[in-house]
Structure 1
């Protein structure tokens, strides 16, 4: 079994999370400058067995696509060319940033630490991955 990798895509930074090899636990991996994302993913997928990539699907409250979906679609085309052998799934990512921020508060992080946007992106990717794992149990 390979890992599942999740991406919380942003125009500046992208949060990345990954499962263990048994696909049970979702953990934050890192935050990458989006300009370096494809290179990072190519390197990571050559070193680790990745079975699937999950990318957040940003939606508005009325279920329409968010403005950032335009950038994500361009990225998905580049990803398919760069890593054609790994399938990609999408997961609704509404509220993940707010949930990430709340989890930082709940875990007792100081105010200065909660301003770390890279950490919020990484936690958001973890929440996206956890949501994917939970919805695909059966």
Structure 2
């Protein structure tokens, strides 16, 4: 059985989450510096069976594309060339960073840990994956 992976792409860091093999549970995997992302994915795909990659689609409140969308599209062109057999699906990621921050508060994380932007990116990727798994 294969996993589903979600990416919360950012120009500096990308949060990554994966499902279990039964595709029931979404878990944060890590946060990777974006320039190292393709190398990380190549290694991960060799070690784990991934059947689908979800990539967050950031939109403004008025439904227009966010400024980072240009960079995501550039990344996706390279990704598709490097991993032509890997299906990619875009998922609306509006408010995932706010939801991630709120979940950190709700879980009782101290203020210092809530400032960890890498953790917010990883939780955001998990929320993207959860929204797909539970739709």
Pairwise TM-score range, normalised by the shorter structure: over 0.9
| Cα distance, 1:133 vs structure 2 | 0.8
Gaps of 5+ in 1: none
Write the distance in 1 (CA, Å) between the matches of 2:76 and 2:132: 18
Instruction: Please provide the CA RMSD for this pair.
Output: 0.5
Q: Distance in 2 between matches of 1:5 and 1:113?
A: 25
Q: Where do 5+ consecutive residues of structure 2 fail to align?
A: none
**Residue 112 of structure 1: how far off its partner (Å):** 0.3
Question: What pairs with 1:56-71 in structure 2 (closer than 5 Å)?
Answer: 56-71=56-71
Measured in 2, the distance between the counterparts of 1:133 and 1:66 equals 24
Q: TM-score, normalised by structure 1?
A: 0.97
Q: 1:112 matched to which residue of 2? A: 112
Taking structure 2 as the reference length, the TM-score comes to 0.99
Provide the rounded CA distance (Å) in 2 between the counterparts of 1:86 and 1:39. Answer: 15
Q: List, as ranges, runs of 4+ consecutive aligned residues in structure 1 with deviation greater than 2 Å.
A: none
Give the number of aligned pairs: 135
